[in-house]
Structure formats: structure tokens, C-alpha cells
Amino acid sequence: MSRRRNQPPRLARVLATIAVVFFCLPFVGLLWKTPWSRLLDVFTEASSRQALWLSMRTSLAAAVMSMIFGVPLAWVLATTKFHGRNVVRALCLISMVLPPVVGGISLLFSLGRTGLLGRWLDDWFGFQFTFSSWGVIVAQVFVAMPFLVLTVEGALRQADPRFTEAARSLGASPWYAFRRVTIPSIAGGLVSGTVLAWARAFGEFGATITFAGNYPGTTRTLSIATYVSLETDPGRSMALSVLMIGVSFIVLVALRDRWLGTEGPR
Amino acid sequence: MKGRALTVILASCGAFLTIACGDDDTSLRVMAASSLSGAFTDIEVAFERDNPGVDVVVITASSSALAGQIVEGAEVDVFASADETQFSRAAESVDFEPSRILARNSLVIIVPPGNPGRVESLVDLARDDVMVATATDDVPIRQYTDRMLDAADIEANFVTFEANVSGIVTKVSTGSADAGVVYSSDLVGADVEAIDVPAENNLVVRYPIAAIANARRTDIARRFVDFVTSESGLALLVLRGFTAP
């Protein structure tokens, strides 16, 4: 009985079906056009493997960096009250809604070789992010970290603060209580936030090409390779798209059941 | 409740359709190479002033991207390409009127303000301390650059392959790259210094333009091409760094 009452009305289900079709149709269209006979050739080409390997390395690094800085940021935003917190939060999340190219240009003006901070890096260390894989990671962190911050902050707000308070009252240091009590209680949110950030970094294109450039092996990620071959060899581009979809899909599905805790009605 | 939800949905569908289908018969879709974007913005304004009721929509991207879109079936009334190969590629799938040359362009080396890489001529592009930005090999500027460098037997130290000319200008104007090769017309409004390439090494870039043939809007498309190739059209192109055909 109660199960029936919880079901959405038919109109909602119809609209939901349309949404599902809307999301699936482009993939069906792509798969329909993909030259399947070339798939294996494209996947085993040195240039594709190089791009996939670069994308894997940089997106994993970006996910780790997002975790290192994003979790403390979410922690602060979720638990401390300070003047202008909403402004700070908005500033930290704005890259989610920004066109990635704008993000890339802003990074050039700040961390580029003649940028606000970048000029010192160049003067002192002769180092520049642009045209290096570090630049790719920076661009990816810039667009991907907000996804983690948002998810983890939400999880922290929903977590019961009494457990952490109890741990603190028993003499645990703030870091210890956070590590051993708070983090386990938000594990689902932390994993899903990290996966979201990784997925966004893996697919990142606009900020990367604008800030880091496009060179095989150092900055040409799988998404850039896909875009670049769209004009010269659309078949190759489609095969690479299938590869990207495959990798992302496997990761999202595999982690969802294990961790994301959104398995629906039991 | 259900009735109200339906009303809301229908109303939003209606609003959506009104927004999405603003395109009418008098709008003219002009696809132009990225290097033409400044000039064609001026030309759009002038043409619309002379032809009340006509709405020109200028779409700019690299000629190869535009040709690709046309091959894939994108609607186009006028196509202005930065090279003849990409124009022919588009003309294989869409019927165009005979093309005309709208303007000429040449190549120029650009460097960031202050020329930090101390680039003086083409040979400096081969130095390994000079980072050179160019475009991917299907973009016309890259093909012209390669042709020029090959003729001079120079192997440039490329560090990035941008998606289009404006990518090259951005990398150089922000000082990320030490040099790049672009069209003379790209200098207008760009925060870069130019180093001329002598005529014996330089090459002439011709821009073909054509109206779509046997279509509902052929008449007005032809009028647009006539305007671009007229004295007043040429004057606007010259202001943006192009030379007469």
C-alpha cells in the first residue's frame, strides 16, 4: 500500500520518460553513426592511447587535488559562520556555470606566463603552466573542484554533528575527529563528489585548450583529440567519443552501486 | 492540480517554440572564416542598413569547421572561406553560385608586446628557446604557415596546435607563446607586435565567397555577395587589414 502511495503520478512518469529518451537519444545517434569496424584500429593507435593515458593521469591528479583542497573548503563552508561566507562560496563555485573558455582565459591572465602570479613563476623558476601537463591539471581542477565542494558540503550539513561533538568532548583533536568520525559518516558524499569531479576533469575541454594548449603527449587530452579529429576524420572522432563514453560509463556505474547510496526503492 | 501542471507545461512549450523559431525568411545565414569576423560584423551592419528588413546572421569559425558543418547539412546562404580547398569541400555537398575573390591577405609573424623572445625573422621560429603557437593541421592558417616555412626550409618549434587563428593570437598576446604566424588582418585590435615577412617568403591568401544557388534566398544571398565585393564592401575590408583582390 505505502509503496503505491509513494509512486509519482503518471504525468511525472511520462515526463521522466521523455527526459530519459532525451539523454539517451544522442548516444544512440552516435553509436548508430560510429564506424564499428574501425573501433579497434582507432583504440590501438599510438596517438589515441597517448591521449587516453594523458587524460587518465591528469584527471586522476585533478580529482586528488580537488580532494586535498576541496574537502577542507567544504568543511569550512559547512561548519563555520563568517562574514561574507555566501560570497566566498559563490566565488568558489562560479566556475561551474562559467563557459570553460572564460575560465581558461582567466587562468591565462592569472597563472599564465605574463599573468598576475604566473609572471613570478616564470621569473623565479622559469616555469610556466601553459603548454605543460601541469596546466592541464590546473584547468581541470578549476572546473572540477566545485562539484566535489558542493557534494561534500551538502553531506556535511546533513551529517549528525553530535557524533563529532561527542568525539571532541572525549578529547579527540579536531583533525582526529574529522578523520575518524566525520569522514566515515559522509563517505558516500565524499566518494560521489570525487567521482563527479573526476568525471568533469576527464571530459574537460574548453579551459584546457585555452589555458594549456594542445600538443600530443603533454596537453592533448582525449577530449581535445576528439575535437581535433572531428574536422579531419569524423570517424576517428566518433570512435574516440565511444571510448570516452565507455570509460566514464563504467566508472560511474561501478561506483554508483558500491558507494553512492542512491539505489532507489529496495 | 493536474490541469494546472499541464497548463504550465504547455505554456512553457509555447514560450520555448516562440524563442526557438525566431528565424524567418528574411534572415540570411552567412558563414565566414574566423579571420573575417571583424570585417563581416561591419559589413553586416552596413548591409542591414541598406536592406531594411533583412537580418544577417554571421557565423564565424575556422573555414575547415564551417566546411564540415556545411557538409553535415548546416543551413547556409553565403560561405566566405579563408582558402579554396575548404570552399571546394563545402561546394561538393551544397550547390553554390560561381565564387568570387572578396579580398587578399598575407602572413605575418606576431610576438607579445616587447618581443620577449627577440624574434626578428622567420629563421628565429626554429630556435628551441622560441615557443611558437600554430593551429591544427586542417586549419587554413596552419597550411599556409607550413607552406611558407617549407619553402624557406625552416622547421618551427611548435608548442601548441590551437583550434583556430584566435587561439594563436590569444596564446601570443598573453605572452604564453613567443611567436605565431597569423594573417595580416588579425593584427587589427590585437595586443601584439608584428614582424613583417618579406614578399619573397610570404604568400598570397585569397578568400573565395559565394551565394547558395537555386535556393529560396539565393536572390538576397547574391545581393550580399555583391555588396561584399563592391567598393563599399572592400573599403570595410581594407579597414580590417585586408587588401583588394
> B5: distance to nearest CA of chain A, Å?
9
Interface contact A213-B160, CB threshold 8 A: yes
For residue range B56-94, list pLDDT tens digits in order.
Answer: 999 998 898 899 899 988 999 999 998 889 999 999 999
The pLDDT, as a whole number, for residue B99 is 93
- Chain A's closest residue to B71, CA to CA, is A231
> B128: distance to nearest CA of chain A, Å?
14
In chain B, what percentage of residues exceed pLDDT 70?
Answer: 89
Are B190 and B169 in contact by the 8 Å Cβ rule? The answer is: yes
Q: Which residues pair with B79 in a beta bridge?
A: B31, B210
Q: Supply the mean pLDDT for chain A.
A: 89
B142: phi then psi, degrees, rounded to nearest 5: -65, -40
Interface contact A214-B161, CB threshold 8 A: yes
For chain B, the residue count is 245
The pLDDT, as a whole number, for residue B27 is 86
Question: Is the Cα dihedral A153, A154, A155, A161 positive or negative?
Answer: positive
The pLDDT, as a whole number, for residue B4 is 62
DSSP A182: I
Name every chain A residue with its beta carbon within 8 A of the beta carbon of B159.
Answer: 131, 213, 215
Name every chain B residue with its beta carbon within 8 A of the beta carbon of A128.
Answer: 176
Name every chain A residue with its beta carbon within 8 A of the beta carbon of B160.
Answer: 131, 213-215, 219
Alpha helix ranges (H) inside chain B? 2-20, 37-50, 63-71, 84-91, 140-151, 165-173, 218-228, 231-239
Name every chain A residue with its beta carbon within 8 A of the beta carbon of B136.
Answer: 214, 228, 231-232
Interface contact A213-B170, CB threshold 8 A: no
Cell numbers 608548442 correspond to B159
Inform me whether the pLDDT recorded for A266 exceeds 50: no
- Average of pLDDT values for A164-193? 88
pTM of the predicted model over 0.90 = no
| Residues contacting residue B240 through CB under 8 Å, at least 6 positions apart | B38, B39, B42, B185, B188
For residue range B15-45, list pLDDT tens digits in order.
Answer: 555 454 444 556 899 999 988 988 999 999 9
Interface contact A231-B161, CB threshold 8 A: no
ipTM (interface pTM): 0.80
Inform me whether the pLDDT recorded for A147 exceeds 90: yes
Tell me whether B117 touches chain A (CB under 8 Å). no
DSSP A126: -
Tell me whether A229 touches chain B (CB under 8 Å). no
Domains of chain B (ranges; CATH) run: 23-104+206-239 (3.40.190.10), 107-196 (3.40.190.10)
Q: Supply the mean pLDDT for chain B.
A: 88
Inform me whether the pLDDT recorded for A201 exceeds 50: yes
> B68: distance to nearest CA of chain A, Å?
6
| Among A156, A184, A161, A173, CA closest to A71 | A156
Interface contact B170-A108, CB threshold 8 A: yes
Distance in angstroms between the alpha carbons of the first and the last residue of chain B: 67
In chain A, what percentage of residues exceed pLDDT 90?
Answer: 63
CB atoms within 10 A of CB B177: 29
Interface contact B171-A213, CB threshold 8 A: yes
Q: Which residues pair with B110 in a beta bridge?
A: B180, B194
In chain B, what percentage of residues exceed pLDDT 90?
Answer: 68
CA A256 to chain centre: 15
Tell me whether A223 touches chain B (CB under 8 Å). no
For residue range A83-112, list pLDDT tens digits in order.
Answer: 999 999 999 999 999 999 999 999 999 999
Are A239 and A39 in contact by the 8 Å Cβ rule? The answer is: yes
Interface contact B171-A130, CB threshold 8 A: yes
Which amino acid is it at B122?
Answer: L
For residue range B186-209, list pLDDT tens digits in order.
Answer: 898 889 999 999 999 999 999 999
Pick the range with the lowest mean pLDDT from A12-26, A42-56, A244-258, B44-58. Answer: A244-258
pLDDT band at A143 (very low <50, low <70, confident <90, very high): very high
Inform me whether the pLDDT recorded for B224 exceeds 90: yes
Tell me whether B83 touches chain A (CB under 8 Å). no
**What is the residue-wise DSSP string for A198-246?**
HHHHHH--HHHHHHT---TTTT--HHHHHHHHHHH-HHHHHHHHHHHHH
In chain A, what percentage of residues exceed pLDDT 70?
Answer: 94
Name every chain A residue with its beta carbon within 8 A of the beta carbon of B9.
Answer: 15
Are A113 and B176 in contact by the 8 Å Cβ rule? The answer is: yes
> Buried b vs exposed e over B231-245: b needs ≥16 C-beta within 10 Å?
eebbebbeebbbeee
Are A111 and A129 in contact by the 8 Å Cβ rule? The answer is: yes
The pLDDT, as a whole number, for residue A198 is 94
For residue range B118-128, list pLDDT tens digits in order.
Answer: 999 999 999 99
CB atoms within 10 A of CB A266: 3
For residue range A20-72, list pLDDT tens digits in order.
Answer: 999 999 999 999 989 888 888 899 899 999 999 999 999 999 999 999 999 99
For residue range A40-52, list pLDDT tens digits in order.
Answer: 889 989 999 999 9
Which amino acid is it at A182?
Answer: T
> B64: distance to nearest CA of chain A, Å?
7
Tell me whether A53 touches chain B (CB under 8 Å). no
What burial class does residue A84 get, using C-beta atoms within 10 Å of its C-beta: 0-12 exposed, 13-18 middle, 19+ buried?
Answer: exposed
Which amino acid is it at A71?
Answer: V
Give the count of Cβ contacts less than 8 A between chain A and B: 69
The pLDDT, as a whole number, for residue B1 is 47
Name every chain B residue with its beta carbon within 8 A of the beta carbon of A230.
Answer: 68
Interface contact A219-B160, CB threshold 8 A: yes
CB atoms within 10 A of CB A228: 24
Domains of chain A (ranges; CATH) run: 39-99+135-260 (1.10.3720.10)
CA A194, CA A85: separation in Å to the nearest integer? Answer: 23
Interface contact B175-A234, CB threshold 8 A: no
For residue range A155-174, list pLDDT tens digits in order.
Answer: 999 988 888 888 888 888 88
CA A104, CA A142: separation in Å to the nearest integer? Answer: 9
CA A221, CA B83: separation in Å to the nearest integer? Answer: 29
- Kind plus residue range of the DSSP H or E element containing A195: helix A187-203
- Average of pLDDT values for B152-177? 93
Of A109, A115, A215, the CB nearest to B160: A215
